Each structure stands twice: as C-alpha cells, then as structure tokens.
Structure 1
Amino acid sequence: MRLASIRTEAGPALGVGSRAGDTVVRVDVIDPDAPTDILELLALPPDRLRRLSDRADELAGRGGPGVLSVDEAPLSPPVPRPSKVVCLALNYRAHAEEGGFTPPERPVLFLKGPHTLTGHGADIVVPPLSRRIDHEGELAVVIGRRCKDFDGEDWQGAVAGYTMMNDLTARDLQLADIAAQHPWDLSKNFDGFGPVGPWLVTPDEVPDPQALDLEVRVDGLLRQRGSTAQMIFGVRELLVRLSAVMTLEPGDLIATGTPDGIGEVPDGSVVEVRIGDLGVLRNRVTHTPILERKQNQ
C-alpha cells in the first residue's frame, strides 16, 4: 500500500496511491470516517485497508474529485512531524572511501531537524550562506511502533513503511567545519534540506529492504547508482543498535545513508531519487542570489 500526505486549504489530508504509483486519491473521498493520521490509518484492520487500496485503484482509472496526479498534487512528507530524523553517515563502504574515510565499525549518526523535511515536488531554496549543495539519495525507514532496547525479533513489524530521502548537504560549509574540527550539523539543517516521499510504502510491498536498486539523477543525468545490499549496517541491525541508545518513536525517520557518487546540484537543477519500486522523489534546487541578500540588508 502507498500512502501520501496532501496539503489542502482545509488542512492536511491523506492519500492512497494507485498500484501504478502515478495517481493519489484522497482517503476522505473514499472513506470519510477514516483516520486523518497516517499511523492511525495503518492501524486499521487489514481488510479495511485493502478496500481503501482497491477503491483508490478504481477511482484512479476514472478520475474525478479527490483524484490527483502524484506529480501535480501538493504533497507533504508522508510523516510530517516525526520526533526525530536519524541519519547514517558512511553507511556504504564505497561512499566512505570516496570521502577519504575508513568504513566505520559502528553506526555514525547525525540528526536533521523536522524543519528540514519537505515533500515531493517542492522547490528547495538555498540561502546565500552556501554555494555548493550536494545530493545524497537514501532509503528512509519509518518507525511503526515504540522501540527501546529492541532485540531484532519481528523487526519487520516495527517498521511502518519505507520512503526516500534526498539528504541535501551544504558541502562547502561541511568541509570547512570538518577542516576546523567543528561539528558540521549546520550543513545538513537548512530549511527543506530533507525532501521525503512521495510515498510511505508499507512493508508488505518491500519484502527485503536490503535488495533495492538506488539511483539519483540530476537534470536527467545519472549521478548515483547502488544497491541497499551494499549497506554496512542494514535495517534490522540499525533498529537494534539505535534503540539501544535512544527510544525510537512511531513516525520517526531513519535515513540509512547514501552510496558513492555524491555530487553538486547546480542552481536550478532538478534532482530525482529512485529506489526499487518506491517511486520517484523529485525536487528542484535553486540558490538565493547573493545580490538579494545585500539588497535586504
């Protein structure tokens, strides 16, 4: 099942994706009594969820009110308000080596604030502080139930679903902070530097999260290509290791790291992240002109 969050004039609404993944149908059009929270919706009985999915497929073929193209719908992140966004650095051996780092023996973490999250199709506006923005396509795991000191048993049951993230990075600021031996959180935490979506895809459609192809394209040109099989720490191990030091709450996001091939996103370019059959996450990145900053001072 594919679920999305849609912005409307009346507030957020949920959508169910067609099986083809090109159309989203508002849940309140299908079932007005359905929950408006995505995690509450996923807690409904399986037969009711199945009816929602089947009805969405029917309506997607006919069109009408509440039926939108996924590329035209005003989408928010599938889970818009996680308590935390936990990101993995150097979780692909080749990516660690391309940066001159030794592949780690334990997960290397950093956090992105929820303010960085934005949806599929949103424009990312970079402030004048940075002139070098890099793409980093990643598989993201959405936590489905509270995990503390998790032993890894039935780990699939702890996952609400999977989505995609582009972990945008102000590389010029990051490298300067690394050289100065300063923390480099700033480079990861500009507004909108965590595009996510378009879908939350439920685990029944992703039987093995360690067997997904990953591609990133910039203006149609292939930049990154890898497989989640190349992760140093897979999803199950991450749930165990992370829950040993922090409580994972429902709706939390774990961005599992990026393969090699990271690179610059030129001003005005469109970045596309594709992972397995999860869909395509697409966003344009534009730079605020330095001149504009001077005029506003």
Structure 2
Amino acid sequence: MVAVDTVARGRTARSAGSRSLGRRLQRPGAWFALPAAVLFAVFFAYPLVISLWQSFFSTQGGELRWVGLDQYVRLFRDPLVATSLGNAFLILLVQVPLMIGIALGLAYVLNQTWLRFRSGFRLLYFLPAVTTLVAYSVVFRVLLTTDGGAVNQLLGLFGVAPVDWLDSELWARVALIASITWRWTGYNMVILLAGLQSIPAEQYEAARMDGAGRWTTFARVVVPQLRPAIVFTTVTSTIGALQLFDENVILTGGGPNNATLTPVLYLYKVGFQQFDPGYASAIAWLLVLITGVISIIQFRLLREKK
C-alpha cells in the first residue's frame, strides 16, 4: 500500500508539474499575441462597433440625433443604393465567371508537363497581382484615354474609330471589367494551379486507360477535384466585386451617369463628401449583411462537398 501511495503521489506531482510548466510556456505566447490582439481591437473591433452604433444616429446641425432604424429605411428609398448594388452585381455576373474561366484555363495549361518555361509563364501571369491598385488603375486610365490613348491608337491601325472608353456608360463598364480581370486573374490562377497539382497522377492514368479524351478528363476528373478551389475563388471574387473602390474611383469616378458607381464608392461619397456618417454606416452594414449571406453560401457548398 505504501508503494502504491508513493507511486500515486509521484504521478500527481508530475501531473501538477507538467500543468504548471504548460502554464509557464503559455505566458510568453500570450505576450506575443497581445500586440496583434490590441491592433485587432483598436483598428477592427472598435470601429466595427462604433459604425453600428453610429448607423442609428443622424447628423443635423453638427449634432448627432438618435433616429433608430430610419437610416436603414432610407436605404430602401435611395435610388443610388439600388443603382450601386445593381452595378456591383452586373460587374460580378460578367467579370467573375470570365476571370475564373480564364484563370482555370491558364492553370490547366501551365500544369502540363510538355509546356516549356512553365515557371516563367507562371511568374508573368502572377505579376499583375503584386502591382498596387492605384498604380495599375492610373496606367489603365492613361491607356484608355480617348484622344491619344495607346488602345485607341492600336485600334486605329486596323481602321477602328476611337472608342470613348471612360465617358460612355457601356464602354466604361467594359474598361472597368477588363482592368479588374487583368489584375486578379493571375492571383486566382495560382490558387487553382495549387489545386491541380494536388490531384494524383493515377487519376489521369485511370481516365486515359478508360479511353477518356482531354475534354472528358478535364470535365469528369479535373473540375470535380477542383470544386473547393473554384468555390473559394468564386466567392472571394464576388466579395471583391461588392467591395470595389480603387479602380472605379481612378478610372471613372463612378460615372458616367453613375454607370460604374459601386456601394463602397457611394459609401465614401456619403461619408466624406456629404458628411453623413450615420447613413454611410448603414450602407456599410448593408454590405456586411450581403457579404455574410455569401459566406454562408460558401460554407454550405463546402459542407455538401464533405
């Protein structure tokens, strides 16, 4: 009995010692995480709470006045909110499938073993993703200038009349979609390429042994395996389209006739040009709601895959 009690006490002491050692080891980790937690609280959590609180107030005569849900009711009566959301959804319905399709095609080609200089091509297609939003938007604005722009000069070589890229409702949307596609296609290509490289070679061999051609292999083997990556890139690109700001500010300023006005740009104009922070906060929380709905759809799609 004495021996048993001694062993039990030894185990208890070792257990207590390991727990205390674990606590001591966790303390440095907590201190290392503290700066990130403080930054998160100051620059994300606090502004988030304040913006929600501010959306229930209206600024009148330089003073805040409680208005309850009036700002949210105003959202449904404001035609510019509907216009900005309509523009955002039009852009994402055209641009997102176009971009994901191009990215998927590039990733599939760059994953082929017969292609030479694959690393160079991957770098070339990914370079636009590392350029700053402002820099590439300025470059596109210069290229698409109606008088003297490089694009119109190139079209002139083929006898095409100059296109009013930035002052026509149709062509301004085309220019915006083209610039976003150029910027983000390489980024999505890298994600899809990583998914392609995770597909076992045995599955391609099995498809060839069954007599499947390239298109059948792509449709029946590649696409189903890439479903999580395709869902991720599609949802993140959709959210990006809803949050579009830099490109349309620099390229078109939201015009002409609000043809490229997006919710974030309208939020900026309301908050910083019209000095109505309460209504701007309500617009921001409308975007949060839409983004949340899209995120829920993403989680459901991934859960169905599992």
Which bin holds the TM-score, normalised by the shorter protein?
under 0.3
**TM value normalised by structure 2:** 0.24
**Structure with greater helix percent:** 2
**TM value normalised by structure 1:** 0.24
**Structure with greater strand percent:** 1
